[in-house]
Structure 1
Amino acid sequence: MTAIWTGVSGMLSYSQGIANTSNNLANTNTVGYKSSRMLFADMISELAGSTTDTNSQIGMGVQVGTVSMSTGVGAIATGDQSMDMAIDGEHGYFTVKDPVSDKTYYTRAGDFNFNTDGYLVSPTGNRVQGWAVDQAAVTQAERTGSVLPEVPVTGDPTDIRITDFTLPAQATGSVSMITNLDSLTDPGILDATDPYCSMFKSYDAANTPPATAAYTSDIKVYDAEGGAHSLTVNYSKVTDTGGKEYWEYMVTVPPADDGSSVTGGTSKAGVLMIGTLTFSAQGVLENQTAFTPTGGDPTDLSSWTQAPLDSTGVPQMSATFKSVSNGSVLSSQTMGFKTGLSASGASWNPNGPSSAADIGTLAAANAGFDPSSTRNAVACTTSYATSSYTQAQSQDGFASGTLNSTSVDENGVVSGTFSNGQTKDLYVLALADFRNPTDLRREGNNLLSATTESGAATTGRANSGIYDGISGYSLESSNVDMATEMVNLITLQRAFQSNSKVVTTADTMMEKALEIKK
C-alpha cells in the first residue's frame, strides 16, 4: 500500500508541475508576465522494517515545495502607444489602484493609456499612480536660471490624470537678450546735460523707434491672456573714455500696447526700462544700471529710479499691457531683464546712482553694481569689434495651447506637448519595490499584491536609488524561456509516467498476494 501512495503523490505533484509549466507556456506572449518556478520536496519518511537505526528510513513520496515567481527581465519590445512603457531592470513595479475597491496593486505590464476621463489606466481600468509636478517650483527655477537636480513634485502619489487638455497662457516673467555691440560704432547724438540718457530723452512715442538707436533687437512677449506683444531693446553708443566703453539701452513695447498709468498716453509711452552698459577695453560687460518709472512725470529723469532686483541680482521691469482682444488694461506683470550680468549680492551699489538723473555727465556714475560683486553668465552681452548682432534671446511666456501628445522619459516623467510649442512636465511615475518580490501574490490581469513574505512596498522614482529607469514607447515581454519550459514539460511528463508505473506495479504485487491467499 505504501508504494501505491508514494506513486500517487508523485503523480499529483508532477501533474501540478505540468500545470505550472503549461501556464508559463500559455503566457509566453503576455506583456510583463513573470514565469513561475516550482520546486518539489520529499514527504516524511518512516523507519525501514523493525530496525531501530534512525538512519534506515523509507520515503513516503513527493510534494510541491514552493512555487516562486522569477523576476528576470523580459525582452524590451517597441510599443504602439505613446504611454507604453517598460522598466529597464528588475528593480521596480508600476503602482496602480483599483478605482472601485481603492486597493493598490503592482505590475510590470506598462501598456497604459489615457481614458475618456483623463486618467492614465491599465487595460482593465486600474489607475496608474504618480506625483504631480510642482509647477510653481519649475517656473521659479526657469526664471532664476536655477538648475534643478530632478523634476520637483508635490504631495503624495495620486491618480495620474489630465483634467484639462489645454495649457493656460503664461505671462512672460523673464526676458533674456544677449547681444554683441560693435565697439567700432560711432557715438550717437548726445544730450548736453544727460549724455548717458540721450536716446531716452529724444524718444517720442509718436515717432518710434528712436532715431539715435545704433542697434535694436526684438522679441515676442506675452501678457496674462496669452496676447503677444513685441518687446524691443534699443542700444546707442555713448562714449569711449578711461579705457572703458559705455552704451545706453532702452527697453520698449509699442506705445499703443502700454496701459500703464505712469507712461501710458504720454510721450514716453511704451518705455519699460532705461539704463547703461559698461564694457572693459576687452569688450567684457562689467557693469550695468537699470531704471524704471516710479510715478511722477515720466519725461523727468528723476522719476526713473533704480529697478528692483530679483533674488539672483537681475533687474526687473513692470509692464501693464492692453488686451490684444478688447483693449482693456490688464494687471501689471513683472519681467526680469537679463543681459548676462547680475549682482551676486542681489543689491545695487550703495554709492551708485539712485535715479537716471544722478548720472549726468559722469562716466564713473554708471557703476550701478558694486564692481566687486558682479558675475557674468556663460552667455553674456559683449562689445567686440565686429558687427552688432543678437547672440541669444529667450522669454518664458506663451499663449494657451491644446494637448497634442504625451510621452514618458527615462526618469518616469510624464510630459505633454501642446499646440503652442510648449512641453510641460505633468507627473512623475511612482515605482514600488519589495524586499522579496519572488513571493508577491498573483491576482490575475497582470496584477500583483504584497504579501507578508514579500514585505511591504517601498516607493521611489525611476533612476533614483535602487529603482531602474523607464523606456518610453516600449513594452516588456514575458520572461518565459520556451526552450526551458519544453524541457521541463518533457521531464515532468516522464516523471508522471514513471510514478504511474509505480502504481500499476504495486497493484500487480497486491494482486499476486491475493492469488497466494486463494
Structure 2
Amino acid sequence: MSISGSMYTGISGLQAQSQATSVVSNNLANSTTTGYKSVSIAFEDVFYSTVYAGGTIGQVGNGVTTSSLTTDFSQGAYESTNTVTNVAINGDGFYIVVDPDTDTTYYTRDGGFTFDTNGYLVDSHGNRVQGWETVDGSITGGLVDIQLDNSQSPPQATSEVAIQVNLDSTETDNTASSTNPYASLFEIYDGTSDPALDDSRYAYQTTISVYDENGAAHDLTVYYDPVTTDDGSIVWEYTVCCDADEDMRDFAGTDMADTSGAGMLVTGTLTFSSSGDLQSMTAFTLSDTPTDTTDPLAAENWVLAEFDDNGLPVFEANFTGAAENQEISLDFGISNSDFATGTGWDTSGGIDSLDDFTATTTPDQLPAFNTGVLSTRATTSTTSSSATYTLSQDGYAPGELTDITISENGVIEGSYTNGQSQELYTFALADFTNNQGLYSEGGNLYSATTDSGQAIIGTPGSAGFGTLASNSLEQSNVDTATELTNLIIIQAAYQANSKIITTADTLLSTAIGLKR
C-alpha cells in the first residue's frame, strides 16, 4: 500500500468520525426536545487493495465510510404538565397532523398541542391534529381536523321526575269531597284562578323544575293532602300541576291554557302501610280521547295512566306548543314490574277513571299496580314532619363548554355548564411497517416515504397502538451519559486518524527528500 493510500485512509477516518460527531452533537443538542428520538451511526470498511507477499495474495483496506444512521424509536420518559392538551403516547404510534396551507400530512410524537383562535387543536407550527368525530362512544366519518368551535351541549327534555318525601301521618284532611274523597284537590282545582289551589286546602307541597325540548325550565308543583278513611288506612291524594299560563296542551281543539283545567297534569293517591311504607299508588291523566269535550276537568276524562318501560306511570305536558306532548314518568319510589300485562293496573275494584269513584269507595277498591316494586328511596308517611328528601329529574338546559378531558383511549370529552359531559372527538394514531423509512422534516415532524410504507391508522389503545396520557409530554430518549461517552471515543478515534495523516505526511516528505 502506498503512502498516499495511507493518507486517504486517514482522511476517510476523519470524515467518518466527523459525521459521528455531528450525530452525537445533534443528539445532545436535542436531549431536552419533546418527543425527539436519538440517532446512532454505524460504519463499514470500504474497498480493498490486493497485495502480493511471498508468493501469496493479501488485502489491505482503504478506509471507512458510514453504513447507516438508525433512529431509536423507543419510548421516552414522561414529563407532567398542567395543560390537558399536552398528551404523550404510551406505546407505538404517531399523531397525525396536517398543514392547513398545503394539506401536507406529517407524523409526530410531540404531543404539545393547543387550541388556536379558531378552535383547532394544533401543534407548535399550526398544523392541525387529526381525529374522528365521536357520538355516543362511536367514531363517525373519516379523519377531520379536531376543532372545538362554540361547542354546546344540546338540551334534553325531562322524561322522568323522581320525588321522595315524608308526609306527616298526623295531618288532618284539609279538603274533603262528598263525591270523591280521593280526588278532592282535583275537584276544587281551577286553572283560571291565581292560585289554582289555595294553600289552606292542602297539607304539603313540593316543587321541581323540569325542562322542555328547547331547554327552558318550568316548575312542576306536587300538592299533597291526607284522605279521611273509615278503616284508618293511611291514604294521601296528590296532584301534579304546572303554571296554567305555560300549559299548551291541546284539548278538543282548544288551548288548555284557556280552560279551568290549565296546569292540571296528573292526580292520584298514595297508600301507605301502618308503619308508613308506600304500598301502592294510583295515577289518573287526561284521556287522549276525552268523553266530555267541553270541560277538561270532567271526571270521565281522567283515566288510569299508562306505564313507561320501567313500570312508572306517565303523564303528558306541553310547554312549547309542539305537535307532540312531552311524556314524563312519575316516580314516588314504587314501580309496576308487571305493566306489560293488559293495562298493568289491578282494577278489580271497578275503577278505571275518576268518574268511577263514589263517596263510599274504600281504600281496598283503589286501583293498584299488578306487581308493585318498592325502591330504597320511596316516599313515606310517618309521624315525622312532612319534608322533602330528594327531588331529581333527567332534563337539562343547553350548556356551554367549560372544560375538556382526554382519556387513555384518546377520547376528547367536553364538560358543560349544564352539568353534562359529551364525547366530541377521538385522536387518530398512525404506525408504519418500517419506521426507519420515515423522513425527518425537522420541527419534530416526520413524513412517510416509499421505504416506510403507507400509514396504518387506528385509535389509541386498539391493537398495535399505544394509549394516551393527558397532562404529559414525552421527553427525548437521548441518554446523555452514553452520548458523552461516545463523544470521548469519537474524539480519540479522530485524533488517531489525524496521527495517520501526519505520519503519512512525514513519510512522504522523507521520500521526496531522498530524490534531492
Whether these two folds match at TM > 0.5 is: yes
Paired with 1:266 and 1:503, the residues of 2 have a C-alpha distance of: 111
1:146 is matched with which residue?
Answer: none
Q: Deviation of residue 270 (structure 1)?
A: 0.8
The 1:237–1:444 alpha-carbon spacing in structure 2 relative to 1, beyond 3 Å, is farther
Q: Distance between the aligned counterparts of 1:239 and 1:215, measured in 2? A: 16
Q: Cα offset for 1:283?
A: 5.4
Alignment of 1:56-455 (within 5 A): 60-79=63-82, 81=83, 84-87=85-88, 89-134=90-135, 137=136, 151-165=137-151, 170-182=155-167, 184-186=169-171, 188=173, 189-205=175-191, 206=193, 207-209=195-197, 211-238=200-227, 246-262=235-251, 263-278=256-271, 285=278, 287-293=280-286, 294-296=288-290, 297-321=295-319, 329=321, 332-343=325-336, 347=340, 350=343, 352=345, 353=347, 355-357=352-354, 360=357, 361=361, 363=363, 368-371=368-371, 379-383=377-381, 386-418=384-416, 423-434=421-432, 437=435, 440-451=438-449
Tell me how far apart the structure 1 counterparts of residues 491 and 454 of structure 2 sit (CA, whole Å): 38
Runs of 4+ in structure 1 off by over 6 angstroms are 51-57, 239-244
Cα separation, 2, equivalents of 1:55 and 1:185: 118
Cα distance in 2 for partners of 1:344, 1:432 equals 50
Aligned equivalents of 1:437 and 1:312: distance in 2? 54
Contact kept, 8 Å, 2:88 with 2:110, in 1: the verdict is: no
Aligned to 1:33: 35
Indicate how the Cα distance of structure 1 residues 404 and 13 shifts in structure 2: closer, same or farther if over 3 A, else same: same
Asked whether the equivalents of residues 224 and 237 of structure 2 are also in contact (C-alpha less than 8 Å), the reply is yes
Deviations 1:149-204 (A, max 9, x none): xx444333322223435555x25223432313246344634545544433323333
Aligned mates of 1:116, 1:283 — CA distance in 2: 60
Query: Could you list the per-position Cα deviations for residues 437-467 of structure 1 after superposition, in whole angstroms to 9, with x for gaps in the alignment?
Result: 5654322222233456656544444456665
Residues 408 and 279 of structure 1, relative CA distance in 2, 3 Å threshold: farther
**Cα distance change of structure 1 residues 72 and 471 upon mapping to structure 2, 3 Å threshold:** closer
Length-normalised TM-score, structure 1: 0.78
Aligned-pair identity in percent equals 36
Deviates more, 1:476-485 or 1:16-25: 476-485
What code does the residue aligned with 1:274 have?
T
Deviations 1:344-363 (A, max 9, x none): 56636546259443874354
Matched residue, 2:497: 499
Instruction: Give the distance between the partners of 1:378 and 1:451, measured in 2 at CA.
Output: 63
Q: Which structure 1 segments of 5+ residues have no match? A: 138-150, 323-328
> Taking structure 1 as reference, are residues 49 and 287 closer, same or farther at Cα in structure 2, changes over 3 Å only?
farther
Change (3 A) 1:176 1:13: farther
- For the residue of structure 2 that corresponds to 1:179, the secondary structure is strand
Give how far 1:38 is off.
0.8
Q: Is the 8 Å Cα contact of residues 7 and 502 (structure 1) preserved in structure 2?
A: yes
The 8 Å contact of residues 172 and 397 in structure 1, kept in 2 or not, is answered as: yes
SS in 1 for 2:250: coil
Residue 25 of structure 2 corresponds to 22
**For structure 1, which segment, 426-435 or 64-73, has the greater mean C-alpha deviation from structure 2 after superposition?**
426-435
Task: Say which is worse superposed, 122-131 or 307-316, in terms of deviation.
Answer: 307-316
The equivalent of 1:147 in structure 2 is: none
| Distance in 2 separating the partners of 1:54 and 1:308 | 105
Aligned-pair CA distance for 1:54 = 11
Q: CA deviation at 1:493?
A: 2.6
Determine the C-alpha separation between the residues in 1 that align with 2:140 and 2:376: 32
One-letter identity of the residue aligned with 2:159: S
Structure 2 Cα separation of the partners of residues 382 and 440 of structure 1: 70
The 3-state SS of whatever aligns with 2:319 is coil
Say yes or no: does 1:484 pair with 2:482: yes
Say how many residue pairs are matched.
491
Distance 1:13 1:407, change over 3 A: same
The worse-fitting range, judged by mean Cα deviation, of 199-208 and 435-444 is 435-444
How far apart, CA to CA, are the structure 2 residues paired with 1:463 and 1:218?
Answer: 46
Q: Which moved more, 1:216-225 or 1:352-361?
A: 352-361
Query: Could you tell me how far 1:413 is from its partner in structure 2?
Result: 3.5
2:500 is matched by which residue type in structure 1?
V
Contact residue 196 and residue 359 of structure 1 kept, 8 A: no
What CA distance in whole angstroms lies between the structure 2 residues aligned with 1:366 and 1:57? 112
Q: Distance in 1 between matches of 2:275 and 2:515?
A: 120
Q: CA deviation at 1:319?
A: 1.9
Q: Please list every run of 5 or more consecutive structure 2 residues that lacks an aligned counterpart in the other structure.
A: none
Counterpart of 1:326?
Answer: none
Measure the CA separation in 1 of the matches of 2:452 and 2:445: 15
CA distance, structure 1, for counterparts of residue 412 and residue 279 of structure 2 = 42
Look up the SS of the partner of 1:264 in the other structure: helix
8 Å contact 1:27–1:33 — kept in the other structure?
A: no
Change (3 A) 1:380 1:454: farther
* 1: CA distance, partners of 2:104 / 2:508: 56
The 1:18/1:259 distance shift into structure 2, 3 A limit, reads same
Contact in 2 for aligned 1:302/1:355 (Cα 8 Å): no
Helix, strand or coil: the match of 2:340? coil
Q: Which structure has the bigger radius of gyration?
A: 2
Question: Which TM-score applies when normalising by structure 2?
Answer: 0.78
Matched to 1:18, the amino acid is T
| Contact 2:284/2:354, CA 8 A, preserved across alignment | no
Kept after mapping to 2: 8 A contact 1:348/1:369 = no
